[in-house]
């Protein structure tokens, strides 16, 4: 077994900041890559966001920058481009989220990096594809939620457009970027050729959101509305019980028969609106209004006990704090406790992926700003005192 991960031996230069790029590079680091985080003298802005024990080590930074080494390099200073190109010549992947024009001025456009290393996998994280009118515009999670239709979908539950309470567009795009880089590395294994990989946020999220919401518009001409019907009608949601909430999702005919048997409702069992898939689809409002009424008749604990031995999908509705003691997460060892040399005890989520032969791991805790500058530059034959 290779305990160093499937990307052991791959060196990544992470020139990104905030969430999208750092999370992309962290995924690669979890899989064994040697990730070098290149920061300005001020450091990643997330170093100052969230609770912290010491300056420059905010919670948001700590959550997205493990398995990395930090190097301070001021890309605006004369000579920094040459230092970076020397580092690129000895690396496999470069990740950045700098707008194309600014990247060119800094000397880190694809052409310059590919000249230094033709085998480089150069990943440019973008707000928008470069061929469209939005190219070059600033893009943050809120902007992409708004443009992609995701914010307007929240009107179903909130009565007005709202942002999903998560930096969801950055994180979904980061997953796409990590697998795009892995595929480009696989292509290089076959051909020896590096390449430029572009991952635009808007196009990524629209494609992701279209999986269920393209609806009848998957056909041309359309044969129905856009939007997944159970969601568009607001039927899929946590349901109130007598004392709280429960997630309840009988999905097929067998689930519904089991549910109606458990609550002793032979009348509904005989009603095709409840007992058949076609009937339920044609009567969503009636079905879920009745389910909502039924679920309010018992406490959450009573429902969990009643449904516990069934195959009906259901779950308690956790608060964030509940996740720390969730019995499943505890049993699987999901939360890993570590001791940081400057920040003390830390709780980090393990990688959710399991590899039988090359498992991911947390090998390095998030670095202090510039902690590894001398060490890393020496590996590239660069004298630290001469680095910009």
pLDDT one-digit tens code per residue, 55-68: 999 999 999 999 99
Spatial separation of the C-alpha atoms in residues 43 and 60, rounded to whole Å: 13
Q: Are 247 and 316 in contact (CB under 8 A)?
A: yes
User: Is the preceding omega at residue 256 within 30 degrees of 0, hence cis?
Assistant: no
Q: What percent of the chain has pLDDT over 90?
A: 88
Q: For residues 384 and 276, which has the higher predicted lDDT (pLDDT)?
A: 276
Spatial separation of the C-alpha atoms in residues 12 and 6, rounded to whole Å: 14
The predicted pLDDT at position 2 comes to 59
Spatial separation of the C-alpha atoms in residues 65 and 198, rounded to whole Å: 22
Q: In what order do the strands lie in the sheet with 245-248?
A: 239-240, 245-248, 314-316
Spatial separation of the C-alpha atoms in residues 152 and 160, rounded to whole Å: 7
What confidence category does residue 232 fall into, taking pLDDT thresholds of 50, 70 and 90?
confident
Q: Where are the alpha helices (DSSP H) in the chain?
A: 20-30, 59-64, 80-89, 100-105, 110-116, 141-148, 150-153, 155-158, 168-191, 201-213, 229-232, 253-262, 266-269, 272-275, 277-282, 284-295, 300-307, 327-331, 373-379
Length of the chain: 388
Q: Three-class SS of residue 28?
A: helix
What confidence category does residue 230 fall into, taking pLDDT thresholds of 50, 70 and 90?
confident
Q: For residues 383 and 58, which has the higher predicted lDDT (pLDDT)?
A: 58
What confidence category does residue 130 fall into, taking pLDDT thresholds of 50, 70 and 90?
very high
Averaged pLDDT, 182-191: 98
Averaged pLDDT, 48-54: 97
Strand partners for 14: 37, 95
Averaged pLDDT, 301-320: 95
pTM above 0.85, yes or no: yes
What confidence category does residue 387 fall into, taking pLDDT thresholds of 50, 70 and 90?
low
**Whether the predicted pLDDT of 21 surpasses 70:** yes
What confidence category does residue 383 fall into, taking pLDDT thresholds of 50, 70 and 90?
confident
**Taking Cα atoms as reference points, which of 207, 233, 238 lies closest to residue 300?**
238
Cα Rg for the chain, rounded, in angstroms?
25
Across the chain, mean pLDDT equals 94
Q: Compute the Cα dihedral for 119, 172, 65, 345 and give only its sign.
A: negative
């Amino acid at each position: 077994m290779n305990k160093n991960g499937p990307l052991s031996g791959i060196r990544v230069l992470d020139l990104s900041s905030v969430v999208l790029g750092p999370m992309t590079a962290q995924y690669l680091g979890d899989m064994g890559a040697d990730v070098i985080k290149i920061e300005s003298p001020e450091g990643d802005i997330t170093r100052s966001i969230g609770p912290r024990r010491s300056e420059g080590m905010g919670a948001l930074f700590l959550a997205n920058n493990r398995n990395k080494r930090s190097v301070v390099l001021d890309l605006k200073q004369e000579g920094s481009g040459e230092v970076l190109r020397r580092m690129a010549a000895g690396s496999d992947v470069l990740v950045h989220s700098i707008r194309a024009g600014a990247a060119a001025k800094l000397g880190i456009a694809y052409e310059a990096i590919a000249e230094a290393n033709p085998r480089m996998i150069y990943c440019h994280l973008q707000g928008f594809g470069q061929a469209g009118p939005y190219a070059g515009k600033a893009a943050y999670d809120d902007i992409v939620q708004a443009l992609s239709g995701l914010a307007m979908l929240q009107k179903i539950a909130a009565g007005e457009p709202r942002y999903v309470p998560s930096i969801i567009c950055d994180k979904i795009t980061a997953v796409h970027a990590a697998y795009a880089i892995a595929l480009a590395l696989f292509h290089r294994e076959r051909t020896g050729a590096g390449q430029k990989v572009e991952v635009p946020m808007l196009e990524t999220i629209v494609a992701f959101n279209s999986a269920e919401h393209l609806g009848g518009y998957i056909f041309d001409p359309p044969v129905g509305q856009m939007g997944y019907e159970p969601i568009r009608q607001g039927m899929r949601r946590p349901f109130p019980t007598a004392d709280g909430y429960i997630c309840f999702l009988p999905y097929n005919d067998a689930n519904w028969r089991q549910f109606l048997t458990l609550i002793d409702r032979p009348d509904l069992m005989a009603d095709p609106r409840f007992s058949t898939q076609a009937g339920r689809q044609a009567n969503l409002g009636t079905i879920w209004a009745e389910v909502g009424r039924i679920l309010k008749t018992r406490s959450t604990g009573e429902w969990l006990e009643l449904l516990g031995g069934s195959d009906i999908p259901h779950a308690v509705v956790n608060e964030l704090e509940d996740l720390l003691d969730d019995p499943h997460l505890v049993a699987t060892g999901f939360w890993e406790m570590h001791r940081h040399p400057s920040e003390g005890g830390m709780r980090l989520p393990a990688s959710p992926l399991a590899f039988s032969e090359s498992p991911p791991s947390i090998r390095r805790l998030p670095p202090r700003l510039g902690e590894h500058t001398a060490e890393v530059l020496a590996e590239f034959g660069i004298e630290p005192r001469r680095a910009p």
